[in-house]
Amino acid sequence: MPDIGTPYDDVFRTMVTDCPFLLIPLINEVFGENYTGDEEITLLQNEHFIKLTDKKLLKKVTDSRIGMPSATSKTYHFECQSTSDGSINIRIFEYATQMAIEDACMEKDHLILEYPHSAVLYLRHNNDTPNNMTVIIKTPGGEISYKVPVIKMQKYSLEEIFKKNLLFLIPFYIFNYEKEFPLMENGNENFQKAEKEFTTIIKQLNNICLGGEISEYTKSMLLDMSNIVIESLAVKYEKIKKGIGGIMGGKVLDYEAKTIFRSGREEGREEGREEGREEGMKNGMVYAYYEMNLQTNEIARKVNLTEEEVLEIIRKKDMQ
């Protein structure tokens, strides 16, 4: 029987697949690395099959496994855990061991197993949640151990997330308010605080997008993934879903910087390789949303174009 995931696992894996570079600042934060973000990233196989005693194969799917061959021979393995169920320690070791076996090599009479650098993201935690999980292996030749760092989502403020460029955590930021949901639904001060913070998220993402640090695609992906998490976590709280979800999926904020950016792009745009890639990505997003039967005004909002521009892209596509 395959592993049963959650919407949060799906969001985690989608971000790793679509925008793996967002993991680099998280790797730097957790493992003390100093990657610049320009490294080549390789998504490694995350499906593993374990042979059971009855010779059947059990499929295991890890949340992420990446390598950066241009910078290092290290591989990194992250798991996303919404609630502690007492089995994450075993699963982490099980996944890591299977990865090590798959990449094992023989040197004369030596079998060499290289374990990945593993970590787990806890979306919820309590006072008993450790900062590290320790794996101890007792062998006939002696005892070895290693630590698996624990990332505690609710320990990160919004300011720290943007300061450290931990954009990968943004879709899960709503977990920081989960305990307050019953009071927020009745409109207490935390609801207003959440509204301000999620409005800040929109503004900050727009700013770094305009500054060229992330693409429109990455920004839209982060907002879409945030909405999926909000919809799932606040399923019983209509006010929160409409209020906070509406901020993340509603209005596109317009301000002077964006107007200047648009004007400059239209007046001085020159067709080139970089611009061609950006335009191709934006066109692809329009096609994808159109095939999902979204209205043109909704597509325009998501990709930061006018409705007329969206209609023109769709028209050209239909003529092909």
Q: What is the pLDDT of residue 291?
A: 65
Which pTM value belongs to this model? 0.71
Of residues 154 and 270, more confidence is placed in 154
Q: What is the pLDDT of residue 220?
A: 86
Q: What is the pLDDT of residue 293?
A: 64
- Residues 205-224 have pLDDT tens digits of 988 988 888 888 888 889 98
- Residues 36-95 have pLDDT tens digits of 888 888 876 544 334 444 544 344 445 567 777 666 778 898 988 887 766 788 888 888
Backbone angles phi, psi at 187, to 5 degrees: 85, 35
Mean pLDDT of 237-251: 80
Q: What is the pLDDT of residue 172?
A: 96
- Confidence label for 248 from pLDDT (cuts 50, 70 and 90): confident
Residue 278 has pLDDT above 60, yes or no: no
Whole-number percent of the chain with pLDDT over 90: 24
Residue 256 has pLDDT above 50, yes or no: no
- Confidence label for 192 from pLDDT (cuts 50, 70 and 90): confident
